Amino acid sequence: MDDLRQKYIDAIANAADEGALEQLRLQAVGKKGEISLKMRELGKMTPEERQVAGPALNALKDEINSALAGKKAALADAALEERLRGEWLDVTLPVRPRRQGTIHPVSQVTEEVTAIFADMGFAVAEGPQIESDWYNFDALNIPPEHPARQEHDTFFMHRAEGDNRPPHVLRTHTSPVQIRAMQAQGAPIRVIAPGRVYRCDYDQTHTPMFHQVEGLAIDKDISMANLKWVLEEFCRAFFEIDEVELRFRASHFPFTEPSAEVDIRCSWDNGTLKLGEGDDWLEILGSGMVHPKVLAAGGIDPNEYQGFAFGVGIDRIAMLKYGIPDLRAFFDSDLRWLRHYGFAALDVPTLHAGLSR
Ligand code: PHE
């Protein structure tokens, strides 16, 4: 039995991998393993012999099993070590002196907007770009025959022949994330939801894919005044000007009541846009108080809670802030355009260090 012990303990210690280890396990303590066979012979022994051999065989089996487990763990550790060595990456390497690429204005503006709203206590929420028509429309108080469905120039996904369920859509706005946020976290809520949206439209200021940022605040004591303050604060910070004046113009969205489109005071002297002064107004976003039916669709009691929501075109405010004339160029991947309008990769926008340097 000592020989048997020595043979397996040595072999286990020298096993090269898990496969070899498994082979040894079968050979020693598997159903037809050497030790198992020896245990079967116990029946043929005299009681005296059995009293000695039984416990010894059991102890040997235990010892081999724990040697196998120990070696298995050691092999796994070694494999992990090896993998970690292989995947090691020196993140302290300095950037190459020659600038390789730039941050796209859409990414830059998304970061800026996120920094500003984070400072006001808004978290970032997300939803899928392929959305069910319930989230994109019904839950937002846009029933099937509502004219707003036409206005959205929706892209519909394909359904298999014979499948009569309403098709999924490419989301036409970020507003479905309102519903998803309500369902996921309940009230109170303070979130923004930046992301891609899709509408079948193409000209100097429209592309089939563009970006919006949704805002949503829900609590027990929220009014239009809170909406106005938040938007003014946002515009001041985002456009980096001290004076902003916003005009709330009565409007209509099925998912807000009352609804307002918001314009910012501006001037167009000699063809250059200046925000915060002048006699012109420029529309920048849609907003309103969340419709009670929308709260209910999100599982929030409209008798207890209310809130405001708004939706801003990210590309649109990027064009305004950085003087970019044509939206289509955003998505052409023209290197000259990207070098001209792009931002340095390491200048992460923060409120304390400056949004755009
Ligand atoms: N979803 C609207 C749009 O895409 C914008 C909006 C969002 C309006 C939230 C009001 C409230 O036009």
CA of 195 to the centre of ligand 1 (A): 13
User: Is 70 exceeded by the pLDDT of residue 282?
Assistant: yes
Predicted local confidence at residue 288, as pLDDT:
98
Structure confidence by residue, pLDDT tens digits, 15-59: 999 899 999 999 999 999 999 999 999 889 999 999 999 999 999
Indicate yes or no: pTM above 0.95: no
CA of 43 to the centre of ligand 1 (A): 83
The protein residue whose alpha carbon is closest to atom 10 in ligand 1 is: 287
Predicted local confidence at residue 273, as pLDDT:
86
**Distance from chain centroid for Cα 63:** 50
Phi, psi of 72 (to 5 degrees): -65, -45
Predicted local confidence at residue 348, as pLDDT:
81
Predicted local confidence at residue 99, as pLDDT:
64
Tokens (6 digits) for 263: 């314009």
Predicted local confidence at residue 91, as pLDDT:
83
Averaged pLDDT, 276-286: 93
| 324 closest CA partner among 255, 252, 273 | 273
Predicted local confidence at residue 146, as pLDDT:
87
Q: Specify the ligand 1 atom closest to the Cα of 178.
A: 9
User: Is 80 exceeded by the pLDDT of residue 97?
Assistant: no
Q: What is the 3-state secondary structure (H, E, C) of 8-30?
A: HHHHHHHCCCHHHHHHHHHHHHC
230 touches 287 (CB < 8 A): no
CA of 164 to the centre of ligand 1 (A): 29
Tokens (6 digits) for 129: 């770009």
At position 274, the amino acid (one-letter code) is K
Which of 255, 294, 312 to probe ligand 1 with, by most ligand atoms within 8 A of CB? 255
Measured N-to-C along each axis, helices 224-239 and 105-119 cross at an angle, to the nearest 10 degrees, of 130
Percentage, residues of the chain above pLDDT 70: 99
Predicted local confidence at residue 204, as pLDDT:
87
Tokens (6 digits) for 196: 């891609």
